[in-house]
Copies of this chain bind each other. A is one copy, B any other.
Amino acid sequence: MGKKIMINPGLPQHNNLTYAPAVRKGNMLFISGQDAAETDPVTGRLTFSNDILEQTKIIYEKLRVILETAEAGFEDVVSTTDYITTTRNYKATADVRRQYFGESFPASTGVIVKGLLHAGALIEIDAVAVLD
């Protein structure tokens, strides 16, 4: 199966954490829940847009970079889970999914949780891919 390989595209918020942004072993790729945190270049603090659509766009860009680092693509993604804290404007995020997945959609589950770990996060998405 090959060894477990931690995939880290160098996102700043992943330093010093006890998980990897993604892990590959054999042809399975597991991607950690991504939120839309961006690091303020001056203060170093995490910042968030206050709109779930904007947050989703940022998350899908992070997923794109992680997949690329793992030499994979959205066509390999078989499952995503959306953990959301609000349904406000959530339906609009379907367009982001169409943009990145084309017509090759994954299985998906969406649930409304009580909270996410970073204050300000409205949505967090994890994913599983099966590589060729």
Which residues in A have some Cβ–Cβ distance to B below 8 Å?
A: 1, 4, 6, 17-28, 30-33, 75-76, 78-81, 83, 85, 87, 90, 94, 97-98, 101, 104-117, 124, 126, 128, 130-132
**Minimal beta-carbon separation of A72 from chain B (angstroms):** 12
- By a CB distance below 8 angstroms, the chain B residues around A126 are 81, 107, 109
- By a CB distance below 8 angstroms, the chain B residues around A85 are 114
- A26 partner, pick from B6, B27, B32, B75, beta carbons under 8 A: B27
- By a CB distance below 8 angstroms, the chain B residues around A112 are 113-117
Given contacts A17-B94, A30-B78, A112-B113, 13 further A-B contacts (CB under 8 A): A1-B27, A6-B104, A18-B97, A18-B98, A20-B105, A22-B107, A23-B78, A25-B78, A28-B78, A30-B128, A81-B109, A81-B126, A87-B117
Q: Is the CB of A18 within 8 A of B94?
A: yes
Q: Is the CB of B18 within 8 A of A104?
A: no
The residue of chain B having its C-beta at the shortest distance from the C-beta of A91 within the complex is B117
Give complex CA distance A90, B123 in Å. Answer: 20
- By a CB distance below 8 angstroms, the chain B residues around A80 are 19
Residue with the greatest number of chain B CB neighbours at <10 A, chosen from A20, A109, A111, A112: A109
